[in-house]
Amino acid sequence: MSETLVAIENLTVRFGNRPVVDRVNLSLHRGDIITIIGPNGAGKTTLIKAILGIQAITSGHIMRSKGLVTGYVPQHLSLEQTLPLTVKRFMLLSGQSLAECESALERTGVSHLLNASVHHLSGGEQQRLLLARALVRKPDLLVLDEPAQGVDINGQAALYDLIRQLRDQLNCGVIMISHDLHLVMAATDKVICLNQHVCCSGHPADVSHDPAFIETFGRPVAESLAVYHHHHNHSHDLHGDVVGSDNSRQAPVREHSHEGCQHEHH
Amino acid sequence: MNIIDSVLNDFFWRALIGGLGVALVAGPLGCFVVWRRMAYFGDTLAHSALLGIALSFLINVPLNLGVIITSVVLAIALMSFSRNKTLATDTLLGILAHSALAIGLVALSFMPEVRVDLTGLLFGDLLAMTRNDLLWIYGGTALILTLLVVLWRGLLMSTIHEELARVEGVQVERLRLLLMLMFALVIAVAMKMVGVLLITALLIIPAATARRLASTPEQMATLAILFGFLAVGGGLSLSWHMDTPAGPSVVVTAFVTFLVVYGAAGIFSGRSSA
């Protein structure tokens, strides 16, 4: 197994009395691409903010590898119109050299915009700029919050492709939030379906058949993702481990039993 | 030495030198007021300066010190109040700004033995600037400029994207507090010049004028300083030749510059945003 970058144990974040992230366990290794999916208000952003270290946690542990450098790609760069900013200046604010900045922009395909105003970028260009801004710090871990928001469908596929390529080139770990389920399924190694707690997790093709996934997203969504049907033919022991499964290698690993959990049906 | 002495003996030169000193820090700080939408916050701190003056008389400390302390206390109070979201920030600021001003006026009226020039406090008395005031201005200016240069990258990053800045290790909260302290200081030293009611104008107008011509934050800060110089120089000349009140003349000059720059830029580019 490659180096563990982040290990999360029993992470809980409460806002007031409401658990927003509830007893989540997760580990992320160098080279992994993990995508977090889940309905609105499922605690996805809170979870990645906790991983980034900018969200106070209520209980549990987050262990980060020593000297971990994180690159963060926020949802938007909602820049005040009153703040004049060029792509070049924004990149240089990372504290890296101009050559490093240019090479990062090159990697994400926006080096021609070096002298453009950040205010004049399209949604896709802005995401690529934010990605370059994260890359220039040479991160071990790349954290992306809905990287494809505001990007058209062709651009989205290209963006997820780019993220995979960057993972290969930089040998970093990637964790991202996404709503684009079809693209997620194609571009990720592991999917975590979050609804405060981890409903299910595993390889994308399997998660889409998981009853917990279907309960969370509704049958139409799940069926649109499912190419073939498969039945849950495993059960869990007390620790949530899969027992008595005849295809356990491919089966999604259920984090815990769902007795007593409430899910909304859509 | 003789030349310096004779320059400093002239009230007009003292006013000019003091005004330029204030403009030097009002430019870059004003940019942060504009970028972070803190105009109303600046107003609130400025209005509280009057309360600070009343308190300084009460406990017998130098006026500038009293004003700084009051502004700092109010800034910290505002920061902690605004975390508790029962009231919208602008409502809270509106309450505190005018209450501080009113309490200051009421408190001063209870001290009949204290003779203060209220008009001077409210609208500034640039021409009455003393050598001691100059010392305060240039001490404050040197401190603020040093802080701004050292903290520039962090301040700018936390203004552009607070969470991104925090991920990159910028101490966002500490910088916010330091920025407030710098505002408090600049208000204390600029109060003499334009008065508590007009200080915010001196922060905002040159920065807003600079925005039209700048394409990087640093350009905007530099241009804001230059437009501030222009406002002080122009305002004092206006005051000298036309016998108008100095503080308001500075603000009027800044406003005219703003109109000219936006008008000219509109004509030349035919577009509305830079």
- Judge: A95–B220 Cβ closer than 8 Å, yes or no: no
Average pLDDT over residues B157-166: 94
Average pLDDT over residues A128-139: 94
For residue A212, the model assigns a pLDDT of: 74
CATH topology of domain B2-196: ABC transporter involved in vitamin B12 uptake, BtuC (1.10.3470)
**Which carries the bigger pLDDT value, residue A228 or residue B120?**
B120
Considering only CB atoms, B167 lies closest to which of A72, A79, A84, namely A72
SS3 A108: coil
Residue identified by tokens 């005018």 is B98
- Judge: A93–B153 Cβ closer than 8 Å, yes or no: yes
SS3 A36: strand
Judged by average pLDDT, the poorest of A135-149, A196-210, B100-114 is A196-210
pLDDT at A132 over 70: yes
State the DSSP code for A259.
Answer: T
Q: How far is A84 from chain B (nearest CA, A)?
A: 5
CB contacts, 8 Å: B164 with chain A: 72, 74, 133
Judging by beta carbons within 10 Å of its beta carbon (0-12, 13-18, 19+), is residue A150 exposed, middle or buried? middle
Q: What is the ipTM of this complex?
A: 0.86
Q: Match domain A1-69+139-261 to its CATH number in 3.40.50.300, 3.40.50.12710, 3.40.1390.30, 1.20.1440.230.
A: 3.40.50.300
Q: Which two tokens stand for residue A100?
A: 């490093």
**Which carries the bigger pLDDT value, residue A233 or residue A132?**
A132
Return the amino acid letter for A174. V
pLDDT at A142 over 90: yes
Any CB–CB contact under 8 A between A263 and chain B? no
Give me the DSSP letters along B134-161.
HHHHHHHHHHHHHHHHHHHHHHHHHHH-
Residues 6 or more apart in contact with residue B204 via CB below 8 angstroms: B30, B33, B34, B39, B42
pLDDT at A116 over 60: yes
Judged by average pLDDT, the poorest of A31-45, A117-131, B75-89 is B75-89
Interface A-B: count of C-beta contacts within 8 A: 62
Phi/psi-derived region of residue B243, left when phi > 0, alpha when psi is between -120 and 50, beta in every other case: left
List phi, psi (to 5°) of A97. -75, 160
For residue A266, the model assigns a pLDDT of: 42
Cα(first)–Cα(last) distance of chain A, in Å? 38
Q: How far is CA A122 from the centre of its chain?
A: 22
Res. B204 pLDDT band, cuts 50 70 90: very high
Res. B220 pLDDT band, cuts 50 70 90: very high
Query: How does pLDDT run across A72-113, given as a tens digit for each residue?
Result: 999 888 899 999 999 999 999 999 999 999 999 999 999 999
Tell me the sheet residues that pair with A253.
A201
- Judge: A54–B34 Cβ closer than 8 Å, yes or no: no
Considering only CB atoms, A117 lies closest to which of B160, B215, B220, namely B215
Q: Are A34 and A28 in contact (CB under 8 A)?
A: yes
In this prediction the pTM is 0.83
For residue B1, the model assigns a pLDDT of: 60
Which of residues 193 through 252 in chain A touch B, CB cutoff 8 A? Answer: none
- Judge: A84–B166 Cβ closer than 8 Å, yes or no: no
Cα–Cα distance for residue pair B187/B204, rounded to 1 Å: 13
Query: How does pLDDT run across B13-55, given as a tens digit for each residue?
Result: 899 999 999 999 999 999 999 999 888 888 888 888 888 888 8
Tell me which chain A residue has its CA closest to the CA of residue B163. Answer: A54
Residue identified by tokens 């604010």 is A93
Judging by beta carbons within 10 Å of its beta carbon (0-12, 13-18, 19+), is residue A123 exposed, middle or buried? middle
**Which carries the bigger pLDDT value, residue B109 or residue A265?**
B109
CB contacts, 8 Å: B273 with chain A: 81, 119
Cα–Cα distance for residue pair B212/A84, rounded to 1 Å: 9
Any CB–CB contact under 8 A between A83 and chain B? yes
CB contacts, 8 Å: A51 with chain B: none
What residue segments make up the domains of chain B, in order of their start? 2-196
Cα–Cα distance for residue pair B239/A46, rounded to 1 Å: 57
Judged by average pLDDT, the poorest of A78-82, B203-207, B227-231, B252-256 is A78-82
For residue A223, the model assigns a pLDDT of: 63
Tell me the sheet residues that pair with A73.
A144
Res. A226 pLDDT band, cuts 50 70 90: low
For residue A221, the model assigns a pLDDT of: 67
Q: How far is B50 from chain A (nearest CA, A)?
A: 30
